[in-house]
Amino acid sequence: MTHINSFAAHGFDGCIVRVEVDIRRGIPGVDIVGLPDGAVRESRDRVRVAVRNSGFAFPPDRILVNLAPGDLRKIGSHFDLAIAVAILSECGVIPPVHYRGKAGGFMLLGELDLSGAVRSVRGVLPAVACGLAEGLSFFLVPERNRAEAEALGRGCVCGVESLRGAVETLIAIGADRVDVAPHNSVPPAGRVRTEVRRDEDSAGGSLPDFADMTGARGLKRAILVAAAGRHHVLLYGPPGSGKTMAAHRIPSILPDLEWEDAIAVTKVHSIAGALGERSGIISRPPFRTPHHTATIEGLIGGGRSVTPGEVSLAHRGVLFLDEAAEFRPTLLQALREPVEAKRVSISRAGRRVWFPADFLLVLATNPCPCGNFGRDDESCLCSRKEIQSYWKRLGGPLLDRVDIRVRTVPPRSEDMLSFGGIDSRRMRTRLDGAMALQRDRYAGTGLRANGEIPAVETSRLCRMSGGAERLLRRSARSLALSARAHLSVFRLARTVADLAGHEDVLGEDAEEAVELRRYGDGDLFWR
């Protein structure tokens, strides 16, 4: 009996799958057991034709393929290559291959088409990471997934374009006719080393700049505070006041991902099939903008194959919900758990998996259904009850977890042509300084940003001076802030102080923090 290692996606980590093949006398046919889904069951027909079209004889016997462990459902077409190689190895076409002193110490991934060509598959980076953790060192993957497989910088990765090429590679390894020394490069420390500038996205396109916005000094300041401390933010105001424009410019001021975050982000996108062919590490923070018609599985994750949703695809980046009040209330309230826990746990019929979901939440909405409430040049046709019902869709529990609430106003006519002012580069400089202070402050504590400061640590991490604490306490009483809102003000004050380079929180820092948080607690619609 022959066995080959492959991989099954199971949440964020997945597990190794042993593809075992036994050939015996009997009516010719291929049986696949081990909880295969439809795509895996269909591989018996793809493998049979691909083997023949690659110039090999398919055994006219009864073939049993077992995918172990048998209690885990196997989903996807990436088992094709491992099944075909295991069958050919059992037939003696491929001699036993020992890699680094262990039989079967390698992993195969790839889908076969009928000609024998190997097609790209999803989940290659998680598979390599799982294999390395289990002691595997050699990985045979589709050529189009080779850059993704090599992203970790460890192990030996060979890219193949056909079944015949995979067979020839394994025969050469078995005969020691090919150099397959593994990579032992050390992962870069700190942020990912990349040639992509921060004013460009990963595809090389230019990111929109805050200099494109006319005026909006207060809005830009609020965005800077939100990005510096990882504070969730709500932008609300009439149409044309710059809410969407500002949100889409947040990536232009965010720093590159650090190495561990880049690996986690790339793994999530690979599992979801959102990683392009010949793609390596994702070095820039993701920016996700789901439509308000998204399903709960699309936003949070799940479905029949339990794939990550938008909240996980936005991990270490930005999740922007435009027209947030148009989302179904059940969708919005489902965000409360990932906002707090920074991960998503999904249970489906006895299976429980998790995905990371640490994102900056940005909500944008109109002040009322017609969008004209509060405008001097337009008349609002909505009743008070309609406005309250509209805001009620967002829900108090979710809004209570949003640290910053910004009222936006349309630019004045005299400012419509006055572009320039505060641009992304200047905002990035201030952001980098504030984030450097936070890295030094929270080194070794498990915290990463001011938005994560626990309540028990506020007195130590948010030291007050110059009447700041008295101002915050007085504001909390006058605005009837909840306990979570009170904590938000302290966190915001710490971030404002970091942006100003203050060691302690001063009165001016506390005053700005209150202004950023005050809207929406006493009344849930814009005045």
The pLDDT of residue 374 is 75
Distance CA 241, CA 407 (A): 9
The pLDDT of residue 201 is 62
CA 234 to chain centre: 21
The CATH class for the domain spanning 453-527 reads mainly alpha
Distance CA 201, CA 287 (A): 10
Return the SS3 of 326: helix
- Residues of the chain short of pLDDT 50, as ranges, are 184-189, 193-197, 204, 524-527
Non-local (6+) Cβ contacts of 321 within 8 A are 289, 290, 292, 327, 332, 361, 362, 363, 364
Under CATH, which number does the domain 210-424+432-442 receive?
3.40.50.300
Domain-wise residue ranges, the chain: 2-184, 210-424+432-442, 453-527
The pLDDT of residue 523 is 54
Closest CA to 353 of 35, 41, 8: 8
Distance CA 229, CA 431 (A): 9
Distance CA 13, CA 273 (A): 15
Distance CA 83, CA 79 (A): 6
Question: If residue 47 lies in a helix (H) or strand (E), which one and from where to where?
Answer: helix 43-53
What are the structure tokens assigned to 176, written together?
């020691």
- DSSP track, 430-463: HHHHHHHHHHHHTTTTS--SGGG--GGGHHHHS-
> Helix 124-133 and helix 259-272: axis angle, to 10°?
120
Name the CATH topology of 2-184: Ribosomal Protein S5; domain 2 (3.30.230)
Closest CA to 13 of 106, 105, 127, 157: 127
CA 436 to chain centre: 23
Closest CA to 357 of 11, 109, 59, 66: 11
Contact status, residue 83 vs residue 43, Cβ threshold 8 Å:
yes
Non-local (6+) Cβ contacts of 478 within 8 A are none
Return the SS3 of 57: coil
Distance CA 274, CA 268 (A): 8
The pLDDT of residue 183 is 52
Residue 238 burial (C-beta neighbours within 10 Å; 0-12, 13-18, 19+): buried
The pLDDT of residue 177 is 52
